[in-house]
Amino acid sequence: MSAERWAAVAVSSEGRRTLSDRSALVVSLCFYAMVSTILATLWRTAAAGHGGEVAGYTGRELTWYIAMSEACTVTLNIRMIELIGQDIASGGIAVELLRPAPVLWLRALGELGRALPRMVACALLGGALSWLTAGPPPHAGTWLLALPAMLLGVSVNLMAQHAFAAIAFWIRDARSTWFLYQKLVFMVGGMLLPLQILPHALRTVAFGLPFMAMAYVPARLASGHFEPALLLVQAGWLVVMAAAANAVWNLGQRRLQVVGG
Amino acid sequence: MRTLRSVLATLRAAVAEARANPGSFWTQVVTMAVNDLAWVAFWVIVFRKVGTIRGWDRDRILLLFAVLTTDAGFVLGVLANTKRIPEMVRDGELDAALTLPTPTLPHLLVRRVDAVNIGDCVFGVVLFLTLGHPTVGRTLVYVFGSLTGAAVMAGFLVAIGSLALFTGRGEPGELGLHAIILLSSYPVDIFVGATKILLYTAVPAAFVSAVPARLIDHVDGGQAASMAGMAVALPLVGWTVFTLGLRRYTSSSLWTRA
């Protein structure tokens, strides 16, 4: 089977698996609805008590911002780093090395396939909830730009998580590291709050890190800011993260030692 | 008395098991503390920007977070199985526990200790002692609020998780866990109407963090009594739902560890 065929199979089979597990999909959508509603309510309340806006965002813009930033994050398995680490530490990944295709790419494409149905569902649900609670999108055109940005953001996050999880090739027990990674996405990635709210020094750092491509960029576009150049920034980070993940996995696989069968 | 002895012995064994790999144990404790610091940073940044939100300021939200990390850390760390009841029902993990001459629910709850959430609990205590303006009176109310909040949360998680014994499905338990943690992480007064009523009733998140945080700042007999009442009522509800559900439990024919 060619590499392209393996890729197509990885994406489509995992996508079908997500769709067939209805209850898991419903749980993740309910979780998304809860977390985005609570956070959007917090920011709308803050804006209302602060002259109608916070850091240049109105209550409506903040609602659409949070709907998108949460959708980008909830779409992926939050514990992916832990699960990859377990597969590496247990040696389970050795079986995947037997396939005539690179392990990293098959895993990443499989995760992307798994994420796609959730991505569509979260975008629709988030759009409906935001419309109901705060009104229509601040700018329909930028909301449409936010959709490819969402796909790019999830892809950057996916590659970065694989690069990060590969630490398990060296330290074996990487279970807790996903907490730290997620906090970086939450804060300097702009998932919990627009980066403009951060103090100046932290904001400068955040704009120079790949995490901003994962949540901030799609959310910034969804909140009505016409900044198409942000898509190029995301594409750049995707190339960098994919290259980093590839390099780390190539190095790590040479260190893999599996005992027993 | 015999039940208490067996519960304590089981708890000691669970702690020893969690600490069997000291490196991993402390890594997880420290990681969770760092994770909690990120939340503190979030709230500090938010309130630096907006001042107050419906009467909540930075100091009070940090108090809320100290209570939440303490009581939720205790429940999810020391009584780690409160969040795993649906999974245990599905995997037949109750089988072995049912053969023991001890009450099933207390045994199950203390059977597993989760180091990650112990980190939360430690962080909560340190946060209160450093930024909670501790005095003797405030500390006593903090201890009271944390214990009663823990009882409310444990009771709710057992009740909602035990629904798996009736329905065979784990989704209500999973959603209940997400809901109570999420809703208790934010100031209750940002919600209005039906949502706010929900937080004091069906998903009693207000009693896990917001009510105890308010009590520490301003002791109120009525609120303290309602806190104590919920701390008795919720565990009773949890016990009842679990006990009734257990009658419908059917073994998975898998042999598991007691």
A133-142, A248-257, B223-232: the lowest-pLDDT one: A248-257
Q: What is the 3-state secondary structure (H, E, C) of chain A?
A: CCHHHHHHHHHHHHHHHHHHCHHHHHHHHHHHHHHHHHHHHHHHHHHHCCCCEECCEEHHHHHHHHHHHHHHHHCCCCCHHHHHHHHHHHCCHHHHCCCCCCHHHHHHHHHHHHHHHHHHHHHHHHHHHHHHHHCCCCCHHHHHHHHHHHHHHHHHHHHHHHHHHCCHHHHCCCCCHHHHHHHHHHHCCCCCCCHHHCCHHHHHHHHCCHHHHCCHHHHHHHCCCCCCHHHHHHHHHHHHHHHHHHHHHHHHHHHCCCCCC
The pLDDT confidence band at residue A15, using thresholds 50, 70 and 90, is confident
User: Does the pLDDT of residue A181 top 60, yes or no?
Assistant: yes
**Least Cα separation, residue A49 to chain B (angstroms):** 7
**Residue B32: what pLDDT?**
85
How many Cα atoms within 13 Å fall on the side-chain side of residue B30?
7
**Residue B4: what pLDDT?**
87
**Residue A259: what pLDDT?**
58
* pLDDT tens by residue, A182-205: 989 999 999 999 999 999 999 999
User: Does the pLDDT of residue A260 top 60, yes or no?
Assistant: no
The pLDDT confidence band at residue B254, using thresholds 50, 70 and 90, is low
* pLDDT tens by residue, B187-199: 999 988 888 888 8
* pLDDT tens by residue, A75-93: 998 888 888 888 888 888 8
Interchain CB distance below 8 Å, A173 and B174: no
The pLDDT confidence band at residue A19, using thresholds 50, 70 and 90, is confident
CB B95 within 8 A of CB B254: yes
Q: Helices B136-162 and B210-217 meet at what angle, rounded to 10?
A: 170
Q: What is the pTM (predicted TM-score) of this model?
A: 0.89
- The percent of residues in chain B predicted with pLDDT above 70, rounded, is 97
* pLDDT tens by residue, A145-171: 999 999 999 999 999 999 998 888 887
Nearest CB among B45, B171, B182 relative to A26 is that of B171
CB A78 within 8 A of CB B178: no
Give B-chain residues touching A50 at CB under 8 angstroms.
49-51
CB B106 within 8 A of CB B3: yes
Interchain CB distance below 8 Å, B45 and A198: yes
Better pLDDT: B122 or A3:
B122
Amino acid at B179: A
**Residue A175: what pLDDT?**
64
How many Cβ pairs within 8 Å bridge chains A and B?
Answer: 79
- Per-residue pLDDT, averaged over B42-61, amounts to 93
Q: How much is the mean pLDDT over chain B?
A: 91
Interchain CB distance below 8 Å, B186 and A42: yes
- Per-residue pLDDT, averaged over A112-136, amounts to 95
